[in-house]
């Protein structure tokens, strides 16, 4: 039990840092982020959508309780990371396209090692 808790918190904090930093960069329209977004072919306003989405997702993951909200946060962050892989791959980023898979792996480990209080009961449907 304790081992799972340690693994959960290490992976969750890693995901929160990655998504929090990139969400913050998107939110404030940092020059580095905006340049990367343009290279992927996205419009400037997409930065606002990514920034808000990532920051809200991180807040939901770290907040106590609210298992249904956490399910949605995991789903949303997974879609964001998979979309990043596809976007980098489609724009010709080469092996850089595989980098977000590290975050995806950490997100999956966080999801599967979370405590029962952070899960929806088996009888609850989404």
The per-residue pLDDT for range 42-64, each reduced to its tens digit, is: 999 999 999 999 999 999 999 99
Banded model confidence at residue 114, pLDDT cuts 50, 70, 90:
confident
Residue 43 lies in a domain: yes
Nearest to 73 by CA among 30, 5, 7, 126: 126
Residue 44 lies in a domain: yes
What pLDDT shows up at residue 93?
82
Residue 48 lies in a domain: yes
Q: Two tokens at 35? A: 């340049």
Length of the chain, in residues: 126
What pLDDT shows up at residue 108?
96
Burial class (CB in 10 A: 0-12, 13-18, 19+), 47: buried
Residue 64 lies in a domain: yes
Give mean pLDDT, residues 76-86. 95
The answer on pLDDT for 73 being more than 60 is yes
Residue 125 lies in a domain: no
What pLDDT shows up at residue 6?
94
Residue 120 lies in a domain: no
The answer on pLDDT for 119 being more than 70 is no
The answer on pLDDT for 126 being more than 60 is no
| Most confident of the following: 86-90, 107-111, 116-120 | 107-111
What pLDDT shows up at residue 60?
96
Percent share of the chain, pLDDT over 90: 77
**Number of domains present in the structure of the chain:** 1
Residue 122 lies in a domain: no
Q: Two tokens at 64? A: 């106590």
Residue 53 lies in a domain: yes
Range(s) of the domain holding residue 106: 2-114
């Amino acid at each position: 039990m304790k081992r799972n808790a340690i693994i959960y918190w290490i992976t969750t904090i890693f995901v929160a840092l990655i998504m929090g930093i990139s969400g913050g960069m998107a939110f404030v329209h940092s020059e580095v982020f905006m340049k990367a977004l343009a290279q992927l072919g996205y419009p400037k306003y997409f930065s606002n959508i990514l920034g808000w989405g990532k920051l809200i997702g991180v807040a939901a993951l770290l907040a106590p309780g609210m298992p249904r909200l956490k399910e949605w946060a995991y789903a949303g962050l997974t879609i964001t990371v998979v979309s990043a892989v596809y976007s980098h791959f489609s724009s010709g980023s080469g092996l850089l396209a595989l980098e977000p898979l590290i975050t995806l792996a950490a997100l999956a480990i966080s999801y599967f090692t979370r405590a029962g209080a952070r899960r929806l009961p088996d009888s609850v449907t989404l």
